A and B are shown apart, each in its own frame.
Chain A
Amino acid sequence: MIEHVRPERRSKASILQDILRAIHNKGGRSRPTHILYAANLSHDRLKKYLESLVANGFITKQQDGEQTFYEITQRGLEFLSGFNKMKRFFDAFGVEI
């Protein structure tokens, strides 16, 4: 019998981490298409999360001719390094962030 296992839903914090990591792994500057595939998000959801990240100062939006790039900021790097600490803290309480 084949057992269907529903994939675990990612939390908002995990999605933000995936986006920032995708940009970071591309040398700190990446195009939206790459982020979309790397973070495994739909176009609409990615747009929403990118806007939120820009508004909170984790990334900046840059225009290079026709192309749009997103660059990770110092704050974004701090989020990436502090994320595991935060995850462990909330995991200890059994609370989803």
Chain B
Amino acid sequence: MMVYEALLIPVWFYSYSTAVYAATALISFMISYFSFRLYKMSSLNMNLMMMLIFVFMGVASSVLATTSYYTYMSNKSFKLYENLYGVVNYGFIVYYTLSLAAYILLTVMYLPRSFRDRLFAAYMPLWYLDFTEFHIVSAILVGYITLMNFANFMKKRKIDSLLVLIAFAMIELSHVMMMLTQFDAVLYLVAHAFLAAGFTSLLAMLIRVSRK
């Protein structure tokens, strides 16, 4: 069995991740509010589902923004994995659960209609509520969503579709980088840069779509 040395994450990294998670939370809430307005206008359930997905993402990011800030304010370096056994641990559990719930709902949206009801329960086991497992499962789910968005972009060739494709590709890379953080702490910064780029791309799509 391979044993990894826990890496020392400099405290200032957490100020950076606090800013990134706060920004992703804000963008998520903006998209969920947009979906809510569409739901009020149309009464179509797909809007409600989209709203729920981004509320989950928004709350998950808010929780991590809070825990990152908490860690930053503790004003000392500590080992990444030891950190999971403090107050921050609860934040991560909320983040894992809500992020996975959001990814699962998104995956279900891309399933053919006939599969949507039957396969839903198959995704729900909770064994992956741990750092590495969470990122592996997330990378698989977001990878599937990215592939579906790639197919959508190839079919439509529209800028809005390209922006969503870029967003999910960046979120995918963010999860992959997070998995590799155990090898090099700098990848923690790279992962957050990908996450920020992904949500910026979603924000650009939202601005374009809501303009007209």
Contacts and interface: CB of A to CB of B under 8 A. Distances in A.
B38 A85 contact: yes
A38 interface: no
Query: Which of A12, A93, A95 is packed against the most chain B CB atoms within 10 Å?
Result: A93
Contacts of A13: 42, 44
Interface string A71-92: 0000100110011111011111
A89 B149 contact: no
A94 B210 contact: no
Interface in B35-51: 35, 38, 41-44, 46-47, 50
Nearest to B150: A94
A40 interface: no
Given A78-B41, A92-B158, A94-B151, A85 B212 contact: yes
Interface residues of A, number: 21
B126 interface: no
A60 B144 CA distance: 43
Contacts of A94: 110, 148-149, 151-153, 155-156, 161, 164
Contacts, number: 65
Contacts of B73: none
B109 A95 contact: yes
Interface residues of B, number: 28
Query: Which of A56, A89, A91 is packed against the most chain B CB atoms within 10 Å?
Result: A89
Where chain B touches its partner, the secondary structure class is helix
Contacts of A84: 212
A82 B38 contact: yes
Contacts of B35: 89
A32 to B, nearest CB: 21
B42 A86 contact: yes
A71 B47 CA distance: 25
B34 interface: yes
A91 B161 CA distance: 7
A36 to B, nearest CB: 22
Interface string B180-212: 000000000000000000000000010001101
B160 A97 contact: no
Contacts of B64: none
A93 B149 contact: yes
Contact of A82 (B42, B109, B149): B42
Interface of A: 12-13, 16, 56, 75, 78-79, 82-86, 88-95, 97
5 contacts: A82-B41, A86-B42, A88-B160, A89-B34, A94-B149
Given A91-B158, A94-B152, A97-B44, 5 more contacts: A75-B41, A84-B212, A85-B210, A94-B110, A94-B148
Interface of B: 34-35, 38, 41-44, 46-47, 50, 109-110, 148-149, 151-153, 155-156, 158, 160-161, 163-164, 205, 209-210, 212
